Amino acid sequence: MSMQKRMIVAVSVATVWTKPESPRPLDELALRHPVEIREWLKRMTIDDKLDLWEGNRIQTQILYGTNVLVVEELDDWLKVLIPQQGTRKEALGYPGWVPRCQLVTEPEAPAGSKRAEVRTAQAWLYRNPSERSIELSYLTSLPVLDETEEWVKVKMPEGAGYLKANEVRLIDGSLIPESGEGHIGRGIVEQGRRFLDLPYLWGGLSSFGYDCSGFAYSMHRYFGISIPRDASDQAKQGTLITKEQLEPGDLLFFAYEEGKGAIHHVGIYAGDNRMIHSPESIKSIEIVDLSSYKLAKEHCVSRRYWS
């Protein structure tokens, strides 16, 4: 890993593959620039989606405008580390392979540190106020160049573009705007509710599809809380919470062998003995009653990151 080159994601969502050989022919839509993420997801059958996990094909995803470190090159592929996504796999960030065409050299950052972050489920990025360019995911964040009442001009990986002012929130430096609620944990649950019925996607980390830990990671990130990318790592950090101490926004972890084996799932406690989570490839984000939930006996630990 002697080479380290900073680059930036130039497609709406870049899928991070385990190896350059991991994609199947049907994944070609996810390898392009521009990527066709909605069509790719639409064309996959349940078996195709299950194979993303069973075939160990996908590691994670990265949103448009995210900085990565390139540590290896192989033909049309680049191996990257994602500093925003903490993992025990690699100290510098989550590792995996991305098509070369989906990354560009990091542009010079504009003066100032204000950023526009998408706060709606999706938002269109415009080349100019009358020409749509790219459909962006929730939490996509881009540097601000200028502001009007209706539009926010942003620095794109390739040039400049416009976002509708009512679809983004402005973040200055590392400050995250207040949730408007006294209880951040409840705010995490309320953000999660916005994505009820969104189909699960193994490795998913965008509002086009989340996996269980990607859902927990993203709902925390809305409040400026950085947690590890994977459930097995999330379960080892944060504050340990007993069953009696549970509050909305706490994370519930589930392990094989009735809680004694490897951790394989995470959900967000929603209060009143309920949990909101992104369950599995055959389902969508849902709220379940923990007393009747099929994995109830596998609950092994709970953690809090929001206070």
Catalytically annotated residue among 220, 265, 299, 300: 265
212 is catalytic: yes
Per-residue 3-state assignment (H helix, E strand, C coil) for the chain:
CCCCEEEEECCCEEEEECCCCCCCHHHHHHCCCCCCHHHHHHHCCHHHHHHHHHCCCEEEEEECCCEEEEEEEECCEEEEEECCCCCCCCCCCEEEEEEHHHEEECCCCCCCCEEEEECCCEEEEEEECCEEEEEEECCCEEEEEEECCCEEEEEECCEEEEEEHHHEEEEECCCCCCCCCCCHHHHHHHHHHCCCCCECCCCCEECCEECHHHHHHHHHHCCCCCCCCCHHHHCCCCEECCHHHCCCCCEEEEEHHHHCCCEEEEEEEEECCEEEECCCCCCECEEEECCCCCCHHHEEEEEECCC
Instruction: Give the number of C-alpha atoms closer than 13 A to the C-alpha of residue 230, restricted to the C-beta side.
Output: 15
Q: How far is CA 53 from the centre of its chain?
A: 17
Catalytically annotated residue among 33, 220, 277, 299: 277
220 is catalytic: no
Catalytically annotated residue among 33, 101, 183, 212: 212
277 is catalytic: yes
Which positions are catalytic?
212, 265, 277
